[in-house]
Amino acid sequence: MNSRRQFLQKLTASLITVPFLPLEDLSAPAGPDNTPYAGPVLRVAIMGLGGYANRVAEAMRACKKAKIAGVVSGTPAKITDWQTRFRIPDKNCYNYTNFDKMIDNPDIDAVYVITPNGLHHDHVIRAAKAGKHVICEKPMAVNAKEGQEMVDACKKANVQLLVGYRMHFEPKTLEIIRMRNAGEFGKVQFFQGLSGFVIGDPTQWRLNKQLAGGGAMMDIGIYSVNGMRYMLGEEPIWVTAEETKTDPVKFAVGVDETIQFQAGFPSGAIASCLSTYNMNFLDRFFLTGEKGFAELNPATGYGPILGRTNKGELSFLHVAHQTIQMEEMSDIILKGKQPIVPVNGEEAVKDLKIIDAIYKAAKEGKKILL
Ligand code: NAD
């Protein structure tokens, strides 16, 4: 058996025995985790206690290599709630004004930034200056320039910067990457990525250019941008794009509703993708080569992910993505482990350069070379 396949089976086997979590639709039975772990544990402070932070925190209950050690929030009531739920001492609780003081707190190794996109730049750079490793949610920044500044700041502070690309650890996704690398699809020729949903409340930060950095592309289209890269295993050399808008009130200037984009790759492979805040049931990746195909549908939701290839269904058991992500990120930060698909700040800057180019292509109506 191929060693990567063994790795994936070992990974899911070690995780499927942990107690399961209320937020996930899990396909495997629950059970106690009796496997002892004596290695180092990543002590994480979560910044921004909103919807996704709660999902991450609940998934981290099943982690052995990472634990919640602190919080950063502007809302005292949320801090009290999290202190109760995760047994966080007063000395590890901060707000957005005083979290720089973490520099004096040896009980926190890393800060996980889960605030609105437009705030990531400031929050990541300050966490790095406080001497903490940083995990930042996607999109890491609102453009490549800001992203590069964050990478540089973390290098200067001698801390690691990782991005919450949870699909980079997802077993079915990794199995397709293994098959592609082994030549099982032959020469890969085409990728299709469909990423979208109908967004609700028009007053939310996701529809505010300042806080979101854009619209659907920043929030959900980024899955197809990132996905075309890891599914094809190459970096694009050009993009074209077309934007359509049916509701210019809900989607103001600078907040994209729907963008179709295409990309070309050095091997000759091409990609065609859709990013939208105005259509549901769009979470599908499709890859085709001269000898076979792979499909993920859903491809990037919270799971279970469904995958099949020309050889049949992929059948890894589902584990909360955030549990696997945090176990693996602990190993990356504390043990120097190299992930199969990178999750560092440089990886995020590559996505942001492509997103910058997609916006430019849509605006100018021209092919943009990368
Ligand atoms: P959310 O609105 O539920 O939570 C955002 C949190 O940031 C809230 O607790 C809010 O109080 C806090 N906040 C701090 N300053 C704020 C300000 N000035 N304005 C508004 N809120 C402020 O959003 P979310 O869904 O948790 O998203 C947070 C981040 O996580 C985003 O970058 C998003 O793209 C990312 N995310 C990633 C995934 C994933 O699957 N990887 C899923 C959802 C969200």
How far is C-alpha 8 from the chain's CA centre? 19
Tell me the sheet residues that pair with 276: 196, 258
Do 178 and 118 belong together in one domain? no
Shortest-distance atom of ligand 1 to CA 204: 2
Centre of ligand 1 to C-alpha 113, Å, is 9
Q: What is the pTM of this model?
A: 0.93
Tell me, what CATH number does 119's domain have? 3.40.50.720
| Residue 367 pLDDT class (50, 70, 90 cuts) | very high
Task: With a cut of 60, say whether residue 28 has pLDDT above it.
Answer: no
Q: What's the pLDDT score for residue 33?
A: 57
How many domains does the chain fold into?
A: 2
Shortest-distance atom of ligand 1 to CA 120: 32
Centre of ligand 1 to C-alpha 37, Å, is 32
User: Per the domain annotation, does 290 fall within a domain?
Assistant: yes
Q: What's the pLDDT score for residue 19?
A: 31
The better pLDDT of the pair 60, 18 is held by: 60
Task: With a cut of 60, say whether residue 41 has pLDDT above it.
Answer: yes
Centre of ligand 1 to C-alpha 51, Å, is 7
User: Per the domain annotation, does 201 fall within a domain?
Assistant: yes
Q: What's the pLDDT score for residue 34?
A: 59
Do 216 and 358 belong together in one domain? yes
Do 154 and 222 belong together in one domain? no
Q: Which of 165, 182, 208 is the last residue of a domain?
A: 165
| Mean pLDDT (whole number) for 61-68 | 98
Tell me, what CATH number does 236's domain have? 3.30.360.10
One-letter identity of residue 186:
G
| Mean pLDDT (whole number) for 311-331 | 97
Task: Give the CA count within 13 Å in the CB-facing half-sphere of 292.
Answer: 16
Q: Which domain holds residue 63?
A: 15-165
Q: Render the burial of 177-208: b for 16+ CB within 10 Å, e for the rest.
A: bbbbeeebbeebbebbbbbbbebeeeeeebbb
| Residue 35 pLDDT class (50, 70, 90 cuts) | confident
For residue 305, what is the enclosing H or E element? Answer: none
Q: What's the pLDDT score for residue 7?
A: 46
Q: What's the pLDDT score for residue 193?
A: 99
Q: Of all protein residues, whose CA lies closest to atom 17 belonging to ligand 1?
A: 116
User: Per the domain annotation, does 335 fall within a domain?
Assistant: no
Q: Which of 113, 143, 165 is the last residue of a domain?
A: 165
Whether 203 is in the pocket of ligand 1, judged by its Cβ within 6 Å, is no
| Mean pLDDT (whole number) for 198-213 | 98
| Mean pLDDT (whole number) for 240-255 | 98
User: Per the domain annotation, does 227 fall within a domain?
Assistant: yes
Residue 288 and residue 295: Cα distance in Å, rounded? 9
Unique residue bearing structure tokens 């060693």: 3
The better pLDDT of the pair 70, 2 is held by: 70
Q: Which of 165, 182, 198 is the last residue of a domain?
A: 165
pLDDT digits (tens, 9 = 90+) for 152-204: 999 999 999 999 999 999 999 999 999 999 999 999 999 999 999 999 999 99
Mean pLDDT, the chain, as a whole number?
93
Q: Render the burial of 142-170: b for 16+ CB within 10 Å, e for the rest.
A: bbbebbbebbebbeebebbbbbbbbbbbb
Helices 3-16 & 171-181 angle (0-180, nearest 10) = 180
Q: What's the pLDDT score for residue 36?
A: 86
